[in-house]
């Protein structure tokens, strides 16, 4: 789903929408962690709307820009907000709740954009009724946040969905998870850029969220 006939302008608009989306995603992690007793993000100055404190040059600009220009599903990330599970009364459950806050925030933004936007749904297809800039921005908010919510729920470290795995793993499984988690990022990059078809199923999930939001 594109926002503009020009791929370069499309990429710029997507990045302009992605940055505040990932910033709010990360802040939500820190706010929930703070609510549960961990003040690490607050003490690190990460509970701020200042994008400079959150932007990752590769994850917030380069990767999403390349994907948008190529007409692929856009995803990206910001600098992870630090969370220390030792500050939680129940560390495993606390990490899961703090992790879920990010995708839930993106889902909320997608549904707000979907309700406010000039969209018409015919069958499984969503049409933009008004081709002006406000409509394109709302479309971008809808698409980007739906993609962020779905992508981040993959159970691959360091994505948020991986924080739910310890909830169902025995003690030995949690120890194994802790050992392999640092390598999850390389697995993720390989799936995205080398074995692209392995994540093709995400398109149908994102489309389901889009239809539900409109």
Question: Based on the structure, what is the number of domains in the chain?
Answer: 1
Catalytic residues: 26
Interatomic CA distance for residues 138 and 118, integer angstroms: 8
Contact 83, 41 (CB under 8 A): yes
Residue 107 lies in a domain: yes
Domain span at residue 83 reads 7-153+200-213
Q: Which residues contact 31 (CB under 8 A, 6 or more apart)?
A: 41, 47, 101
Residue 181 lies in a domain: no
DSSP 60: I
Q: What is the pLDDT of residues 91-104, one digit of tens each?
A: 999 999 999 999 99
Place of tokens 């997608």: 110
Q: Which of 146, 35, 23, 28 is nearest to 88 (CA)?
A: 35
Q: What is the pLDDT of residues 111-156, one digit of tens each?
A: 999 999 999 887 778 888 877 888 889 998 999 999 999 999 999 9
Q: What is the pLDDT of residues 53-63, one digit of tens each?
A: 998 888 887 87
Residue 158 lies in a domain: no
Residue 58 lies in a domain: yes
Helical (H) or strand (E) element with 126: strand 125-128
Residue 13 lies in a domain: yes
């Amino acid at each position: 789903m594109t926002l503009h006939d020009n791929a370069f302008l499309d990429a710029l608009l997507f990045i302009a929408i992605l940055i505040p989306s990932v910033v709010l995603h990360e802040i939500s992690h820190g706010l929930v962690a703070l609510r549960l007793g961990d003040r690490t993000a607050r003490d690190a100055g990460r509970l701020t709307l200042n994008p400079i404190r959150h932007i990752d040059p590769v994850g917030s600009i380069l990767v999403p820009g390349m994907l948008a220009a190529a007409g692929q599903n856009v995803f990206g990330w910001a600098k992870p907000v630090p969370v220390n599970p030792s500050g939680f009364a129940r560390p495993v459950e606390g990490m899961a709740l703090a992790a879920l806050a990010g995708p839930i925030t993106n889902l909320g933004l997608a549904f707000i954009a979907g309700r406010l936007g000039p969209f018409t749904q015919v069958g499984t297809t969503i049409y933009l009724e008004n081709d002006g800039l406000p409509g394109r921005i709302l479309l971008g908010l809808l698409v980007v946040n739906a993609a962020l919510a779905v992508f981040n729920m993959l159970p691959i470290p360091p994505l948020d969905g991986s924080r739910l795995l310890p909830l169902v793993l025995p003690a030995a499984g949690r120890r194994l998870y802790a050992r392999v988690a640092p390598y999850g990022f390389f697995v993720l990059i390989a799936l995205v850029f080398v074995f692209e078809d392995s994540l093709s199923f995400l398109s149908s999930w994102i489309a389901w969220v889009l239809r539900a939001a409109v």
